[in-house]
Chain A
């Protein structure tokens, strides 16, 4: 996983899977990066091939953390079709701004 801080934008990428194996690490590292008070958080899911409920829980935790901060935008970038299906199955696509570019 790669976390980059580009001014007000926090960019998280290179997530190959988000599961029970790494969701705690994901939460901790992203939580630490939130200390820089970004106004835009982009999670690039273009390389994420597998996600389970723990991964969804990690995304939800991030959503909850950012929704308490006014003006912070949380975006999911380019999820693969399977991940998009999982987000739709759990209705979590309604929580996130999903962007394809």
Chain B
């Protein structure tokens, strides 16, 4: 009873789907008149190919639709409302200018099959973005086609396969650190390779002896090494030049997972580190809004030797005598791995990211990375003091890049509260928690990435909240274990949702 008396208004408002708000006969849309003969459908299409009853979509008027989705929106936490230090996700501010330019009819209503000669502005924009990303990555060629990071990974692995095949080689092994993003091994399997895990050393980098051992087991089978640098611990691997030399000597390619590119823009370039293939998450470093799980885009930048295999079509710029440059889609790429998707990629994302690059410029991009690194190190220092330093110490104690990883192991041992509990209690304090339980090699991991668009005040407020939660946990650990209390719903039974999946509204 007391739980119900304490219910917040939003908790009291039980979840009701749009289907449950449906009443026969209500509607929002008014469609245009047909203006043509109203021929019975069965005269146009054989009856056995027609559907008997229409799909049971909701029947609701526009005011109810607006109210329904507005209310639902209030049951979300979002970056525009508060601090979102989700490690590896780069939750930086999404400038609204980008939305405005993406919505211009010349972009938003441009058909993807339009004759290239009548889509010159779009192709030029893509060509300019390719050039910008090439410069930022330090690699000469770019394909914008992949739809997100993991799509870029798959592209990179298929490029690797094509590169080796072109040299008459079939290589089977792809090396990846045990700290890698889950997408890396999943992409490796989809591309038909075997994942070989490489250990991490005491400074958080690749364990060089293990790397050498894994290469020497079968040097002629090494297809590729996938690496994130800075890695998922937020640490720059100081041995990268030696790593690159070892992989290249074995004949493999070096793949850069660009999820952490926000640390090094204008500071250091993957191409200069020796990488052959880089994917860039435009929805991380280049400010495309995350949309609650997409859309994004995952362009790839590659070295000269990988270029012949890039997906089709490629945007190219041709000089035509006396007419200035003409932009075109080049399908005539005999060594290409082929398409990875329809049309030209997530163009709307390209517009936003190009607007972002234009806004910041060379200096602004470098400054963004500097500030991201400054903010991460400042927050790390704040969390190294006080109770956080005692209960959730940093996993690898050195300067970090744009993110850092804490271990909740002492907190669990001494206070009996797990990283998940701390995360859930942070919700009551109005913060999105860090990424939890990743990377896997750190016990009770908390991965914190503040980004450059947060003020010192917001970093301080987060550090203060962690301190307050740990202080209250010293007195009463149950408080965190039962958290959250103030969110639209409290802790949810995820096991039930997987054991007896209910994945649609019964109608």
Do A and B interact with each other, yes or no?
A: no
